[in-house]
Amino acid sequence: MDDCLFCKIARGELPSKKAYEDEDVLVFHDIHPIAPVHLLLIPKAHVESLASCAAQHQAILGKLLLLAPKLALEYGLDQGFRTMINTGRGGGQEVFHLHLHVFGGGERIPKI
Ligand code: AMP
Ligand code: ZN
């Protein structure tokens, strides 16, 4: 995906503030955080959104979800955190490369 923003970040063509990386996942800090800690967890392989996922994405989806509490703890969110996956324009998605938001810290996050 040549012109996908998060693919470019995953390939190191655009800078990011990295929080974690392995062979198939990259985690970096959101450029416009909505909480004191705001991480984005992405698969390195391009997939547009949760709605585009299929059986072959089961492992990466599980990996992202299992990574969330580990990184949350590592970044001091010992009181808890929120996860969010915006899907499609109707779901508020702006970057069309699957990503899991993990955020928290500071004041209690309002209920949605
Ligand atoms: P979404 O609305 O779920 O698609 O969220 C996209 C998120 O990506 C937003 O929270 C943006 O602040 C964040 N974002 C956009 N560009 C960058 C970037 N270059 N580095 C880090 N985060 C970004
Ligand atoms: Zn991409």
Summarize pLDDT for 75-94 with one digit per residue, the tens: 999 999 999 999 999 999 99
Give the start-to-end residue ranges of the domains of the chain.
5-104
What is the rounded CA–CA span in Å between residue 4 and residue 97? 7
Active site residues: 99
Task: Tell me if 49 CB under 6 Å of ligand 1.
Answer: no
Quote the ligand 2 centre to 78 CA distance (angstroms).
31
Q: Which atom of ligand 1 lies at the shortest distance from residue 14's CA?
A: 19
Place 1 in a pLDDT band, splitting at 50, 70 and 90: confident
**Residue 109: per-residue pLDDT:** 77
Q: Which of the ligands is closest to the CA of residue 9?
A: 1
Ligand 1 atom nearest the C-alpha of 28 is: 21
What's domain 5-104's superfamily in CATH? HIT-like (3.30.428.10)
| Predicted pLDDT at 90 | 98
Whether 72 has a pLDDT exceeding 80, the answer reads yes
